[in-house]
Amino acid sequence: MGGFTFDLKACARPNIIALQPYRCARDDYKDDGSNTLLDANENSYGPSLSLDLSTNRDIGSSTLKLAGLNRYPDPHQIELKQLLCDLRQPADSPATLKPENLFVGVGSDEAIDGLIRCFCIPGVDKILVCPPTYGMYTVAAQVNDVEVVKVPLEVEGESPSFDIQPVKIQELLKDDPRIKLVYICSPGNPTGKLVDPARLKALLEYSWNGVVVLDEAYIDFAGHGKTLAHWVNSYPNLVVMQTLSKAFGMAGIRLGFAFAPSEIARLLNNLKAPYNVSSLTSALAIQAVSESGLEVMGSHRELIVRQRERLIQELPKIQRIGRFLGGYDANFLLVEMLDAPRNLGGRPDNKTAKMVYSQLAETKGIVVRYRGNELGCTGCLRITVGTEQETTKLLTKLEEVFHEIP
């Protein structure tokens, strides 16, 4: 080696060196198999498959195409794309969604990153986000050396609405042509609230040379017909991202997709690696959005909605639980933790929320998500809706924690 010295800081891109990676609750509390995991908005009822995957029996090459694993996967995923179009095409309107409107990737994160690489010149262009929102938009921008501009959701007042603010967004777009992408989460994460279609429409009808990205990861929990995926053929600068990770319970296969005008979808498909979705992932995704898979998903979704309603009814019975902030359109709830009982004037408090968060994980075996540092979310925990048994455990252990902390 001689006198050669490797200097990582001088070798890597400065923005990567300075990157603050996306963190989750399991960075603090590892899954050792004994915890009840209610932190990551997963589907506790399991995958939306009508297959028994618990044994090693042969389930047939026609189902999982196991005999074809020596081959590279289909780079175009036409069968899967058509099923996704059928899933999101409104029944009462002519079919407009076609496979050429779709990008399929490794989770929604590949689409988030791909859009930034498509439209933003590193060190020059910018994206706009609306906090509180999903953290990966900012992480992907930092990785690509793209500046992040923020227009918060409406958080003023005693009861924040968490609506987007199209007029304020338009003001920034007018003044800064380097903003190329606007990321909007609907239902929001961590707010659980659907975007107001009228406000979104006002933004889409504003004249600027950039793309609006609507992230609908939780859309299936918001009720039938709430997706705006079919809008992509009405607005040339709209992209709608979705995933199989949430309502479909398929987080482990990492399958996300983006509906877009065909020209934008083509850019994303040109950019991706040629075989980015594996054959097994594709086959499992096809099963999940097939008729039998949709029946399983629908059944699981109803169970989750039932437990969501139960939490809405039962959590306020605990005197140190405050308000539900945001909406009820996802498989999680954003809930205030109070520094004293409500009848004694308790207020949302980050210290209390942190104590509840850590005590639940460390002494009760329940992992939720602390969100108190997010804009407008003082004192809040984000709690994923689990099974009936998990909900019962959560309610019991929360009561215990509040008796144990100051």
- Provide the residue ranges of all domains of the chain, joining segments of one domain with +: 12-47+295-404, 71-290
Cis upstream peptide for 316 (omega within 30°): no
Lowest-pLDDT choice from 46-55, 272-281, 332-341: 46-55
Please state which of the ranges 61-65, 69-73, 215-219, 377-381 shows the lowest mean pLDDT.
61-65
- Which CATH number does 71-290 carry? 3.40.640.10
Q: What is the pLDDT of residue 161?
A: 94
Please report which confidence band the pLDDT of residue 271 belongs to, taking 50, 70 and 90 as the band edges: confident
Which among 388, 380, 327 is positioned nearest to 356, based on CA atoms?
A: 380
pTM: 0.88
| In the chain, % of residues over pLDDT 70 | 87
Residue 356 has pLDDT above 90, yes or no: yes
Tell me whether domains 12-47+295-404 and 71-290 share a fold: no
Contacts of 371 (CB under 8 A, 6+ apart): 132, 190, 334, 377, 380, 381, 382
Confidence of residue 6 (pLDDT cuts 50, 70, 90): very low
* Residue 165 Cα distances to 169, 211, 252, 270, angstroms: 6, 16, 35, 33
CA distance 98 to 284: 21
Most confident of 25-39, 118-132, 320-334: 320-334
Residue-level pLDDT at 56: 43
Share of the chain above pLDDT 90, in %: 70
Q: Does residue 12 carry a pLDDT above 60?
A: no
What backbone torsions phi and psi does residue 369 show, to the nearest 5 degrees?
Answer: -130, 125
- What are the CA-CA distances from residue 150 to residues 128, 138, 181, 185, 237 (Å)? 6, 10, 12, 14, 20
Is the alpha carbon torsion for 361, 344, 321, 349 positive or negative? negative
What integer pLDDT is reported at residue 11 of this predicted model?
A: 46
d(CA 48, CA 250): 7
Q: Is the pLDDT of residue 74 over 90?
A: no
Query: Alpha-carbon distance 208 to 237, whole Å?
Result: 9
Domain 12-47+295-404, CATH number (from 3.40.50.150, 2.30.42.10, 3.40.50.880, 3.90.1150.10): 3.90.1150.10
Tell me the three state secondary structure of residue 252: helix
pLDDT tier at 4 (50, 70, 90 boundaries)? very low
> Given a cut of 80, is residue 186 above it in pLDDT?
yes
> Residue 63: its pLDDT value, please?
47
